[in-house]
């Protein structure tokens, strides 16, 4: 049996994931991928980069909210830099995920569209 601290920690992790600001997630990508007959390794890569983007979004949201709380309504130049940097990290992760998605799903999607 796990102790109360671990249970509470797991609960708050799930709540944080559910309450994520963006909320869109990779559902559209997964739906498309399910129609393309991908291999297990390709699925694993798609799931990995999807998790990377979701993790980056969660970290970005946490940083933005902590900065907003610490600044109390006034945006300090360093606070803006912290928020912009966190947002940039999400962009880098999303661009990498898009590239992986195109590399994996592009050829089978193209074959499907051409035939």
pLDDT band, residue 27 (cuts 50/70/90): low
Is position 57 annotated as part of the catalytic site? yes
Which residues have C-beta within 8 Å of that of residue 101, sequence separation ≥ 6?
A: 29, 46, 49
> What is the tens place of the pLDDT at every residue in 30-40?
777 777 888 99
**Is the pLDDT at 99 greater than 90, yes or no?**
yes
Mean pLDDT of the chain: 83
Distance CA 100, CA 29 (A): 11
> What is the tens place of the pLDDT at every residue in 52-77?
999 999 999 999 999 999 998 788 99
Given the residues 2, 21, 42, 57, the one annotated as active site: 57
- Per-range mean pLDDT, top range of 18-27, 66-75, 94-103: 94-103
Which domains does the chain show, CATH number per domain? 39-115 (1.10.287.3610)
The CA–CA distances, whole Å, from 107 to 14, 36, 48, 113 equal: 36, 10, 20, 10
């Amino acid at each position: 049996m796990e102790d109360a601290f671990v249970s509470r920690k797991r609960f708050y992790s799930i709540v944080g994931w559910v309450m994520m600001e963006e909320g869109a997630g990779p559902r559209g990508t997964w739906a498309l991928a399910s129609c393309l007959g991908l291999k297990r390794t390709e699925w694993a890569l798609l799931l990995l980069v999807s998790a990377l983007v979701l993790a980056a979004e969660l970290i970005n949201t946490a940083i933005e909210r902590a900065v907003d709380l610490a600044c109390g309504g006034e945006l300090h130049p360093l606070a803006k830099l912290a928020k912009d940097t966190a947002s940039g990290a999400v962009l880098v992760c999303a661009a990498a995920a898009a590239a992986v998605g195109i590399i994996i799903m592009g050829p089978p999607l193209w074959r499907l569209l051409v035939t």
